[in-house]
Amino acid sequence: MSSLGQLSGRLDHHLQIVGDLTKALLALRAQLLGKLESLKLTTADVEKARETVAHFLEGLSPVLGGQTAVHEEHRVIKERLVQSGEQPVDWADDFSKLVAQLRAGNIPDTEQLDKVMRIVGYLQGEVAEDVRRLRSR
């Protein structure tokens, strides 16, 4: 596969992840704020959101804890955390607790949702860089 094809494939993959996580975070925040009905979301949407976020964080937490990244998006997030002066191990611990909370059927608080949104922002930044690279070719 050409480098252009690889870049395009990575961009599509990252866009899918960003989209899924953004929708999931919206549903969780809507439930937290009591706005499910006004956004036409259901409890099934919230269940799916909990699963989406928990599944993603289950893969990310070990990488932040020191394991080698298998997925590109996990590597990107870890690198961005390090670049911003954060300790990935601290985030791994926070995310492990959040996964347990989500698996127990609980909704995270605003601070926890903001933390997940921050890592989604790192992926959005990577998407923007990939788009810039594609345009320059």
Amino acid occupying residue 49: A
Q: C-alpha dihedral over 123, 124, 127, 129, to 10 degrees?
A: -100
In whole angstroms, what is the distance from residue 24 CA to residue 105 CA? Answer: 14
List Cα–Cα distances, 117 to 41, 47, 133, in angstroms: 19, 18, 24
The pTM (predicted TM-score) of the whole model is 0.89
Per-residue pLDDT of the chain (137 residues; tens, 9 = 90+): 466 667 677 788 889 999 999 999 999 999 999 999 999 999 999 999 999 999 999 999 999 999 998 898 999 999 999 999 999 999 999 999 999 999 999 989 999 999 999 999 999 998 888 778 777 76
Rounded Cα gap, residues 48 and 134, in angstroms: 33
